[in-house]
Amino acid sequence: MNVIRASQLTVDDAWLDRWSRFAAGLRFQDIPASVAAHARLVLLDTIGAIAAGAQEPEMVALTCRMADLHGTGGVTTAVIGGRTRLPLPVAAFLNGTAGTMLELDEGNQYCRGHPAIHVVPAALAAADRRGASGRDLIRALVLGYEIGARIGIASTLRVTMHPHGTWGTVGAAVAVASLAGVDAATMRETINVASTLGLATSRRTMLQGGTVRNTYAGVANELGLTAVELVGAGFVGEPDGVATVFGTVSADDFRPHEMTHELGSRWEIARNYFKRHAACRYTHGALDALGAILAETGPVAPDDVAALEVDTYVWAAQLDDPAPRNMLAAKFSLPFALATLIVNGNTAVASFRDPARLDAATRALAARVTVREDEAFTAALPALRPARVTLALRDGRRVQREVTTNRGDTEAPYPPEEVVAKFTELAAPTWGTDGAAVVRRAVETIDTMRDVRALTALLAG
């Protein structure tokens, strides 16, 4: 057996010094106005996803259980959409979990994950605790998003791992440390400590409907808060925990130059994507292609479909289960997602709930969907997400459409008003149309907010 001794390890951590100085020294005014505006949109979108997810039966039950277990005393913050306040780590855990329940939170194609849901709950909790300004919150969100996304870019997780709950813990910790106003040395230690607190996640959870997967981002937010407290109490990490974990443990190809390439001029939060289909992003290209087909043909009766053929990239091709066992699995099933679009005419949340999932016509149609990998499409990753859909009708007609990227991606972004409309759709059932508008205006003007508790009070209401 080969044994790695401490004396054999070398540390090339110049990137970490530069990153720590950058994070500790960044001021709100250093962030380009366009990036800050996009960060506000990311914050709004994430709050909407959390508020809607908080209404799911599992989240309502979990919030009650966590309230019974931890009480409502001490330093608390908003459980978004939960109409209560709970201790900071508990609320951050619940908010992070709720935000992934409906598979509608934003993401970043270059890091192959969802940075914001790993940062926003912890950042809001820390900002609430300190009475931080809105500008401080936006700066913290931008920084936390940046380091989490860059770790995802600089390494390729093992194919058996799910990205939730991994590098997102570092993002949460950096955001919280930024709000604490730490110096570069403390920021560095926070990054190192947080890097070793990530989860060993399973990719099969998303494929097989293991809803424990929805908690991964919640745990990351909770641990991000904890990492800052650990460092404040005197705990230390190894010299470059990120390189160790993402170069030898969760992945084995950490590329430190990616951590500082164009740092301060290329902002990852401005390269994100927003989602309108309530399903895994890997399904979106095929859904967009099928949508284009249906725009030409008009509505198609399920029984009139002889077959649906999908050619796509490797990760999407894995989503081939035609009979998902619950809502989460349905969101990670290309056959079901395409079938429910034909049957229900949309891919909103209700189209993946049990009544839709158990519909006999939908299930029969899903069984007639074939999913294949096209190696040329796989080679286009990560910049593009190609998909080709062929609809074969029983009358002999065949209609085919191909897309190279998803709507909502950096290359084909939704206009801001589309993201705002999505927020209203998700938030209005929780706060009412007027209440949702009040929250939206608070986020849109957060740069002028002297104390973010004006926002968190709304979120808890």
- Evaluate if residue 8 carries a pLDDT over 60: no
Please say whether the beta carbons of 221 and 50 come within 8 A.
no
**Residue 2 confidence (pLDDT):** 46
Q: For residue 75, what are its two tokens? A: 């330093």
Task: State mean pLDDT over 378-402.
Answer: 95
Average pLDDT on 327-348 reads 97
pLDDT, tens digit (0-9, with 9 covering 90-100), for 375-386: 999 999 888 899
Q: What is the pLDDT of residue 288?
A: 97
- The DSSP line for 87-139 is EHHHHHHHHHHHTTTTS---BBTTTTB-HHHHHHHHHHHHHHHHT--HHHHHH
- The first and second tokens of residue 60, run together, are 């309502």
Tokens for 380, please give them: 């286009």
- Res. 232 pLDDT band, cuts 50 70 90: very high
* pLDDT of 120: 98
In this model, does residue 445 exceed pLDDT 60?
yes
Q: What is the pLDDT of residues 62-101, one digit of tens each?
A: 999 999 999 988 899 999 999 999 999 999 999 999 999 9
Instruction: Pick the range with the lowest mean pLDDT from 1-5, 37-41, 124-128, 157-161.
Output: 1-5
d(CA 312, CA 309): 10
| Local structure of residue 266 (DSSP, 8 states) | S
Ramachandran angles phi, psi of 186, nearest 5°: -70, -35
SS3 of residue 8 by DSSP: helix
Helices (H), 196-326: 204-208, 216-232, 241-244, 257-260, 284-297, 314-317
Return d(Cα 387, Cα 61) in angstroms, integer.
Answer: 39
pLDDT band at 4 (very low <50, low <70, confident <90, very high): very low
Q: What is the pLDDT of residue 201?
A: 96
Average pLDDT of span 311-326: 96
Question: Cis link prior to 416 (omega < 30° from 0)?
Answer: no
Residue 11 pLDDT class (50, 70, 90 cuts): low
Average pLDDT, the chain: 95
Residue of 81, 87, 119 lying closest to 102 (CA atoms): 81
Structure token pair of residue 421? 């409309």
Residue range 247-262: mean pLDDT, rounded: 96
Summarised one tens digit per residue, pLDDT across range 199-223 is: 999 999 998 999 999 999 999 999 9
User: How far apart are the C-alpha atoms of 75 and 126, rounded to whole Å?
Assistant: 10
Give strand pairing partners of 371. Answer: 310
| Whole-number Å distance between alpha carbons of 226 and 96 | 15
pTM of the predicted model as reported, rounded to 2 decimal places:
0.94
Distance CA 136, CA 127 (A): 8
Q: What is the mean pLDDT of residues 302-320?
A: 96
- pLDDT one-digit tens code per residue, 145-175: 999 999 999 999 999 999 999 999 999 999 9
Q: Is 74 left (phi over 0), alpha (psi -120 to 50) or beta?
A: left
pLDDT for the residue 73: 85
Residue 212 identity: V
Whole-angstrom distance, CA of residue 442 vs CA of residue 32 = 21
The percent of residues above 70 in pLDDT, for the chain, comes to: 97
Confidence of residue 12 (pLDDT cuts 50, 70, 90): low
Between CA 8 and CA 12, with CA 10 as vertex, the angle to 5 degrees is 175
HSE, side-chain direction, 13 A CA sphere, residue 92 = 31
